[in-house]
């Protein structure tokens, strides 16, 4: 039985076709806003899924640690599969480009706050803003 099913059942939750499609859509997209997920889910052949179901589904899956979200820009939250979150996002405020670096880059930082505050950081969906090499150059 899949991890997804196991995780859901452990909390008395159910694996519905819609939730499966949401997960599949995120797998295909990588990152997406709730709206984007809805659009992708609609493109998989079956009937469209109600917006409220998308929101509730993402929330449920996030609680289970199946998906996570981050804010790449000021507007909508961006969701992705937690398993796919093996990188940190570097968002350039100059040109909007989003680069990625391994989570290991921040291991010392994570270790420091764990030691000083007992805080266990989940940087699997961390977005760091700043300026990329290009934009920093012709600043």
Which residues here bind a second copy, judged by CB under 8 A? 69, 71, 74, 77, 90, 92-93, 99, 101, 105-106, 108-109, 112-113, 116-123, 125-126, 128-133, 136
How far is residue 135's CA from residue 1's CA, in Å, rounded to a whole number?
48
Contact between 18 and DNA (CB under 7 A)?
yes
Nearer of residues 47 and 115 to DNA, judged by Cβ: 47
Nearer of residues 29 and 90 to a second copy, judged by Cβ: 90
How far is residue 47's CA from residue 62's CA, in Å, rounded to a whole number?
24
Residue 64 binds which of a second copy, DNA, none (CB < 5-8 A, kind-dependent):
none
Residues 6+ positions from 103 with CB-CB distance below 8 Å: 86, 87, 88, 123, 124
- CA 65 remoteness from chain centre: 10
């Amino acid at each position: 039985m899949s991890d997804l099913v196991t995780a859901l059942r452990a909390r008395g939750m159910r694996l519905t076709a819609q939730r499966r499609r949401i997960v599949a859509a995120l797998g295909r997209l990588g990152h997406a806003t709730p709206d984007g997920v809805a659009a992708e889910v609609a493109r998989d052949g079956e009937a469209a899924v109600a917006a409220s179901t998308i929101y509730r589904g993402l929330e449920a899956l996030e609680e289970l640690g199946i998906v996570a979200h981050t804010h790449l820009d000021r507007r909508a939250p961006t969701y992705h599969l937690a398993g796919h979150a093996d990188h940190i996002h570097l968002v350039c405020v100059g040109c909007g480009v989003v680069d990625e670096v391994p989570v290991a880059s921040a291991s010392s930082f994570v270790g420091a706050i764990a030691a000083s505050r007992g805080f266990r950081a989940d940087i699997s969906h961390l977005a760091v803003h700043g300026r990329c090499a290009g934009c920093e150059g012709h600043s």
